[in-house]
Amino acid sequence: MKNKAAVRLLSFTLCLMLILSAAAAETRQGVIMLEGMEEPIEETLFTSPLGFSFWYADGHLEARQGEAEGLEGVVVSALLSDDCMVLSVIPEEEAQKYADKLGADIKKMSETSRVQMDVYREQENGAYSFLTLIAENGRYLSAAGKYAVEAAEGNAKYFQKVLESVVLMSEYDLDFLKTLPGEWVLEYEGAGAVLTLEEDGGMSLYCYALDGSFAYTHRGAWSYEPVPDYGGRLALSFTSTDDPTRQESGYSVDCVYDAYSEAWAENDSWFTYLILNPLISSSGVTPFEELFGSDDAALYRERKPNMRVIRCSSFVSLRESRSTSSRRILKVPLGAQVLAFPEAGDENGFLYCLYHGEEGFILKEYLQPIE
Write out pLDDT tens, residues 23-41: 346 889 988 888 888 889 9
CA distance 277 to 56: 33
| pLDDT (tens digit per residue) in 172-211 | 444 544 578 889 888 777 788 888 988 788 888 888 888 9
Residue 192, CB half-sphere, CA atoms under 13 Å: how many? 11
Check if the beta carbon of residue 186 is closer than 8 Å to that of residue 14. yes
| Model pLDDT, residue 295 | 61
**pLDDT at residue 165, rounded to an integer:** 93
Low-confidence ranges of the chain (pLDDT < 50): 1-24, 171-174, 176-177, 250, 280-282, 286-293
Residues 232 and 221: their CA atoms lie apart, in Å, by 16
Q: Which domains does the chain have, with CATH numbers?
A: 4-22+175-298 (no CATH), 52-168 (3.40.1000), 307-369 (2.30.30.40)
Torsions phi, psi for 194 (to 5 deg)? -130, 115
Quote the pTM value: 0.49
CA distance 84 to 50: 19
H-run or E-run covering 140: strand 139-148
The pLDDT of residue 15 = 35
Q: How far, CA to CA in Å, does 18 sit from each of 59, 151, 259, 282?
A: 33, 45, 21, 15
Task: Give the contacts of 146 (CB within 8 A, at least 6 positions apart).
Answer: 69, 83, 84, 85, 127, 128, 129, 130
With 0-12 / 13-18 / 19 or more C-beta atoms within 10 angstroms meaning exposed / middle / buried, residue 85 is: buried
CA-based torsion, 224, 227, 231, 233: positive or negative: negative
**Which pLDDT score, from 0 to 100, does residue 242 have?**
81
**Per-residue pLDDT at 222:** 83
